[in-house]
Amino acid sequence: MKRFTNKIILVTGSARGIGGASVEQFAEEGGIVYTTDIDMDALTSATQALQARDLKVEALHQDASSEADWATTVATILDKHGRLDVLVNNAGMGQLIPVEDSTLAQWQNVMAVNLESVFLGTRIGIKTMKEKGGVIINVASIAANVAEPLFPAYNATKGGVSMFTKAAAVDCARKGYPVRINSLHPGYCETKLVADAVAGLGNKAEAFVKAVVASIPIGRLATPWEIARPLLFLASDDARYMIGNELVVDGGYIAV
Protein backbone atom coordinates (compact mmCIF):
# COMPACT_ATOMS: atom_id res chain seq x y z
CA MET A 1 0.00 0.00 0.00
CA LYS A 2 1.46 3.37 -1.07
CA ARG A 3 -0.60 5.96 0.81
CA PHE A 4 2.14 8.60 0.77
CA THR A 5 3.48 8.48 -2.78
CA ASN A 6 5.34 11.75 -3.46
CA LYS A 7 4.08 13.29 -0.20
CA ILE A 8 6.62 15.60 1.45
CA ILE A 9 7.03 14.55 5.07
CA LEU A 10 9.03 15.92 8.01
CA VAL A 11 9.61 13.88 11.17
CA THR A 12 11.55 15.48 14.04
CA GLY A 13 13.61 13.61 16.62
CA SER A 14 13.76 10.64 14.27
CA ALA A 15 17.26 9.20 14.48
CA ARG A 16 15.80 6.15 16.22
CA GLY A 17 12.79 4.85 18.13
CA ILE A 18 9.23 5.76 17.14
CA GLY A 19 10.45 8.57 14.93
CA GLY A 20 12.90 6.32 13.12
CA ALA A 21 10.28 3.61 12.60
CA SER A 22 7.87 6.23 11.25
CA VAL A 23 10.44 7.57 8.79
CA GLU A 24 11.06 4.08 7.46
CA GLN A 25 7.36 3.30 7.05
CA PHE A 26 6.53 6.65 5.43
CA ALA A 27 9.34 6.05 2.95
CA GLU A 28 8.22 2.48 2.28
CA GLU A 29 4.81 3.86 1.37
CA GLY A 30 6.26 6.23 -1.21
CA GLY A 31 6.91 9.35 0.85
CA ILE A 32 9.77 11.80 0.40
CA VAL A 33 10.85 12.00 4.03
CA TYR A 34 12.99 14.54 5.85
CA THR A 35 14.29 13.12 9.10
CA THR A 36 15.80 15.48 11.68
CA ASP A 37 17.60 15.18 15.00
CA ILE A 38 20.42 16.70 17.05
CA ASP A 39 22.28 13.38 17.06
CA MET A 40 23.75 13.51 13.56
CA ASP A 41 25.85 10.37 13.94
CA ALA A 42 22.81 8.20 14.64
CA LEU A 43 20.69 10.11 12.14
CA THR A 44 23.23 9.77 9.33
CA SER A 45 23.67 6.05 9.98
CA ALA A 46 19.92 5.39 9.96
CA THR A 47 19.39 7.53 6.86
CA GLN A 48 22.17 5.84 4.88
CA ALA A 49 20.67 2.44 5.67
CA LEU A 50 17.31 3.56 4.25
CA GLN A 51 18.89 5.23 1.22
CA ALA A 52 20.70 1.96 0.48
CA ARG A 53 17.25 0.46 -0.02
CA ASP A 54 16.42 3.21 -2.53
CA LEU A 55 14.03 4.89 -0.11
CA LYS A 56 13.63 8.66 -0.43
CA VAL A 57 14.98 9.93 2.90
CA GLU A 58 17.07 13.02 3.63
CA ALA A 59 18.71 13.87 6.95
CA LEU A 60 18.87 17.38 8.39
CA HIS A 61 20.31 18.61 11.67
CA GLN A 62 17.60 20.27 13.75
CA ASP A 63 17.18 21.28 17.36
CA ALA A 64 13.38 21.15 17.55
CA SER A 65 13.36 23.60 20.47
CA SER A 66 15.09 26.27 18.33
CA GLU A 67 12.92 28.74 16.44
CA ALA A 68 15.81 29.46 14.07
CA ASP A 69 16.28 25.77 13.30
CA TRP A 70 12.60 25.40 12.48
CA ALA A 71 12.80 28.28 10.02
CA THR A 72 15.88 26.81 8.36
CA THR A 73 14.49 23.27 8.17
CA VAL A 74 11.15 24.25 6.66
CA ALA A 75 12.77 26.74 4.26
CA THR A 76 15.07 23.98 3.01
CA ILE A 77 12.08 21.74 2.29
CA LEU A 78 10.03 24.49 0.67
CA ASP A 79 12.93 25.63 -1.51
CA LYS A 80 13.17 22.13 -2.95
CA HIS A 81 9.53 21.02 -3.06
CA GLY A 82 7.33 24.08 -2.56
CA ARG A 83 5.14 22.38 0.00
CA LEU A 84 5.00 20.28 3.17
CA ASP A 85 2.28 17.63 3.36
CA VAL A 86 2.88 15.90 6.69
CA LEU A 87 4.64 17.14 9.83
CA VAL A 88 5.29 14.86 12.78
CA ASN A 89 6.39 16.65 15.94
CA ASN A 90 8.12 13.69 17.54
CA ALA A 91 11.22 15.14 19.24
CA GLY A 92 11.17 14.62 22.98
CA MET A 93 13.05 13.73 26.13
CA GLY A 94 12.26 12.20 29.48
CA GLN A 95 13.73 12.17 32.95
CA LEU A 96 12.60 10.33 36.05
CA ILE A 97 12.91 12.97 38.77
CA PRO A 98 10.23 13.61 41.44
CA VAL A 99 9.01 17.16 41.95
CA GLU A 100 11.00 17.92 45.10
CA ASP A 101 14.24 16.72 43.52
CA SER A 102 13.86 18.66 40.25
CA THR A 103 15.74 21.86 39.53
CA LEU A 104 14.21 24.72 37.58
CA ALA A 105 16.79 24.18 34.84
CA GLN A 106 15.77 20.53 34.47
CA TRP A 107 12.09 21.50 34.33
CA GLN A 108 12.73 24.18 31.73
CA ASN A 109 14.80 21.82 29.57
CA VAL A 110 11.97 19.28 29.41
CA MET A 111 9.49 22.07 28.63
CA ALA A 112 11.63 23.34 25.77
CA VAL A 113 12.21 19.97 24.15
CA ASN A 114 8.77 18.42 24.68
CA LEU A 115 6.34 21.33 24.58
CA GLU A 116 7.90 24.44 23.07
CA SER A 117 9.15 22.37 20.12
CA VAL A 118 5.58 21.26 19.42
CA PHE A 119 4.37 24.84 19.54
CA LEU A 120 7.10 25.97 17.16
CA GLY A 121 6.49 23.10 14.77
CA THR A 122 2.73 23.40 14.79
CA ARG A 123 2.85 27.16 14.27
CA ILE A 124 5.15 26.99 11.25
CA GLY A 125 3.30 23.92 10.00
CA ILE A 126 -0.03 25.75 9.96
CA LYS A 127 1.48 28.77 8.21
CA THR A 128 3.07 26.49 5.62
CA MET A 129 0.04 24.24 5.03
CA LYS A 130 -2.97 26.52 5.32
CA GLU A 131 -3.19 27.20 1.58
CA LYS A 132 -2.36 23.79 0.11
CA GLY A 133 -3.42 21.58 3.02
CA GLY A 134 -1.59 19.15 5.24
CA VAL A 135 -1.48 17.02 8.36
CA ILE A 136 0.24 17.66 11.68
CA ILE A 137 0.72 14.90 14.24
CA ASN A 138 1.98 15.81 17.69
CA VAL A 139 3.44 12.88 19.57
CA ALA A 140 2.21 13.08 23.15
CA SER A 141 2.11 10.09 25.50
CA ILE A 142 -0.15 8.26 27.91
CA ALA A 143 1.67 10.50 30.39
CA ALA A 144 -0.90 13.06 29.24
CA ASN A 145 -3.64 10.74 30.47
CA VAL A 146 -2.18 9.03 33.56
CA ALA A 147 0.08 10.58 36.20
CA GLU A 148 3.42 9.05 37.13
CA PRO A 149 5.04 10.57 40.24
CA LEU A 150 8.53 9.90 38.92
CA PHE A 151 8.20 12.12 35.84
CA PRO A 152 6.08 15.17 36.67
CA ALA A 153 7.76 17.45 34.11
CA TYR A 154 7.16 14.87 31.38
CA ASN A 155 3.52 14.55 32.51
CA ALA A 156 3.12 18.32 32.34
CA THR A 157 4.57 18.60 28.84
CA LYS A 158 2.57 15.75 27.37
CA GLY A 159 -0.65 17.03 28.94
CA GLY A 160 0.22 20.38 27.39
CA VAL A 161 0.81 18.79 23.98
CA SER A 162 -2.61 17.14 24.13
CA MET A 163 -4.57 20.29 24.96
CA PHE A 164 -2.49 22.48 22.67
CA THR A 165 -3.21 20.06 19.83
CA LYS A 166 -6.95 20.29 20.43
CA ALA A 167 -6.87 24.09 20.49
CA ALA A 168 -4.81 24.32 17.30
CA ALA A 169 -6.95 21.72 15.51
CA VAL A 170 -10.22 23.49 16.30
CA ASP A 171 -8.74 26.86 15.36
CA CYS A 172 -7.72 25.56 11.93
CA ALA A 173 -11.09 23.91 11.35
CA ARG A 174 -13.07 27.02 12.27
CA LYS A 175 -10.90 29.17 10.00
CA GLY A 176 -11.48 26.78 7.14
CA TYR A 177 -7.83 25.78 6.85
CA PRO A 178 -7.36 22.35 5.23
CA VAL A 179 -5.02 21.32 8.03
CA ARG A 180 -5.73 18.33 10.26
CA ILE A 181 -4.01 18.16 13.65
CA ASN A 182 -4.17 15.23 16.08
CA SER A 183 -2.05 13.82 18.90
CA LEU A 184 -0.66 10.31 19.26
CA HIS A 185 -0.41 8.87 22.77
CA PRO A 186 2.03 5.95 22.91
CA GLY A 187 2.35 3.76 25.96
CA TYR A 188 5.61 2.35 27.23
CA CYS A 189 7.75 1.45 24.23
CA GLU A 190 11.14 -0.15 23.59
CA THR A 191 12.99 3.07 22.81
CA LYS A 192 16.27 4.68 23.86
CA LEU A 193 14.30 7.47 25.55
CA VAL A 194 12.58 4.97 27.83
CA ALA A 195 15.74 2.92 28.37
CA ASP A 196 17.80 5.99 29.30
CA ALA A 197 15.15 7.28 31.68
CA VAL A 198 14.83 3.91 33.42
CA ALA A 199 18.61 3.54 33.66
CA GLY A 200 18.63 6.71 35.70
CA LEU A 201 16.79 4.85 38.46
CA GLY A 202 19.86 2.78 39.25
CA ASN A 203 19.09 -0.22 41.44
CA LYS A 204 15.37 0.61 41.31
CA ALA A 205 15.20 0.18 37.54
CA GLU A 206 14.39 -3.54 37.45
CA ALA A 207 11.52 -3.22 39.90
CA PHE A 208 10.11 -0.24 37.97
CA VAL A 209 10.13 -2.13 34.68
CA LYS A 210 8.50 -5.19 36.25
CA ALA A 211 5.75 -3.01 37.74
CA VAL A 212 5.13 -1.29 34.40
CA VAL A 213 4.94 -4.54 32.45
CA ALA A 214 2.60 -6.00 35.07
CA SER A 215 0.28 -3.01 34.53
CA ILE A 216 0.03 -3.55 30.76
CA PRO A 217 -2.77 -6.01 29.93
CA ILE A 218 -0.91 -7.22 26.83
CA GLY A 219 2.02 -7.98 29.14
CA ARG A 220 4.91 -6.30 27.32
CA LEU A 221 6.24 -3.00 26.04
CA ALA A 222 5.40 -1.88 22.50
CA THR A 223 7.88 -1.96 19.67
CA PRO A 224 8.48 1.28 17.74
CA TRP A 225 6.89 -0.39 14.67
CA GLU A 226 3.65 -0.92 16.62
CA ILE A 227 3.44 2.78 17.46
CA ALA A 228 4.43 3.96 13.99
CA ARG A 229 1.60 2.11 12.24
CA PRO A 230 -1.17 4.08 14.02
CA LEU A 231 0.86 7.26 13.46
CA LEU A 232 0.76 6.63 9.72
CA PHE A 233 -2.98 6.07 9.96
CA LEU A 234 -3.40 9.56 11.45
CA ALA A 235 -1.30 10.98 8.62
CA SER A 236 -3.30 9.21 5.93
CA ASP A 237 -6.57 10.13 4.23
CA ASP A 238 -8.19 7.31 6.21
CA ALA A 239 -8.22 9.74 9.16
CA ARG A 240 -9.52 12.74 7.21
CA TYR A 241 -12.50 13.30 9.56
CA MET A 242 -10.35 13.29 12.69
CA ILE A 243 -9.16 16.55 14.28
CA GLY A 244 -8.09 17.26 17.83
CA ASN A 245 -8.22 13.59 18.72
CA GLU A 246 -6.00 11.62 21.10
CA LEU A 247 -5.09 8.27 19.57
CA VAL A 248 -3.93 6.05 22.44
CA VAL A 249 -1.67 3.09 21.61
CA ASP A 250 -0.71 1.52 24.92
CA GLY A 251 -1.53 -2.19 25.12
CA GLY A 252 -4.47 -1.39 27.39
CA TYR A 253 -2.44 0.41 30.08
CA ILE A 254 -4.91 3.24 30.74
CA ALA A 255 -7.98 1.01 30.32
CA VAL A 256 -7.53 -0.63 33.74
154 a catalytic residue: yes
Length of the chain measured in residues: 256
Of 154, 177, 188, 241, which is the active-site residue? 154
Is the Cβ–Cβ distance between 43 and 69 less than 8 Å?
Answer: no
Which amino acid appears at position 151 of this protein?
Answer: F
Going across the sheet that includes 179-186, the strands are 57-61, 32-37, 8-11, 86-89, 134-139, 179-186, 246-249
Distances (CA, A) of 150 to 112, 115, 154, 216, 221: 19, 18, 9, 18, 18
Is the Cβ–Cβ distance between 110 and 65 less than 8 Å?
Answer: no
Active site residues: 154
